[in-house]
Amino acid sequence: MENKRKNKDFNPNNCPVTHFYNKVGGKWKTVILYGISKKVNRFGILQKAIPMISKQMLVNQLRELEEDGIIERKIYAEIPPRVEYTLTEYGESFMPILYTIQDWGINDMGLQH
């Protein structure tokens, strides 16, 4: 059964900000991207790093990120099979934005950088 995303292409005013949020908005995608960028790149490790996310939600978010060409999924022919996720070049293009958001959050929360 294919999972249909409600807002994937909904952008009636052709707004660039809405376009961005359609790609990586929501509660989990930016956290997942940040983790993968820091080599937290296997399903079990991501699940441990983001304990509040359900298994099914993590599966769905990874599938959407892969479908959108933001991450790649590589299956290693080992016993047991190993799967690793990496950012694509397109996925890497999101990272400066996420680091800027992180810096803002650090400053706004009064944390040391």
Q: Are 112 and 100 in contact (CB under 8 A)?
A: no
The pLDDT of residue 1 is 42
Q: Is the pLDDT of residue 8 over 80?
A: no
Q: How far apart are the first and last CA of the chain?
A: 45
Domain locations along the chain? 20-105
Q: Which amino acid is located at 109 in the chain?
A: M
Report the percent of the chain where pLDDT is more than 70.
93
Q: Is the pLDDT of residue 24 over 80?
A: yes
Q: Show the CA angle centred on residue 67, arms to residues 62 and 73, nearest 5°.
A: 55
Q: Is 95 strand, coil or helix?
A: helix
The pLDDT tens digits of the residues spanning 25-79 come to: 889 999 999 999 999 999 999 999 999 999 999 999 999 999 999 999 999 999 9
Cut 0.95: pTM above it: no
The pLDDT of residue 3 is 55
Burial letters for 49-84: b for 16+ Cβ neighbours within 10 Å, e otherwise? ebeebeeeebeebbebbeebebbeeeeeeeeeeeee
Nearest to 34 by CA among 83, 84, 101, 82: 101
Topology of domain 20-105, CATH: Arc Repressor Mutant, subunit A (1.10.10)
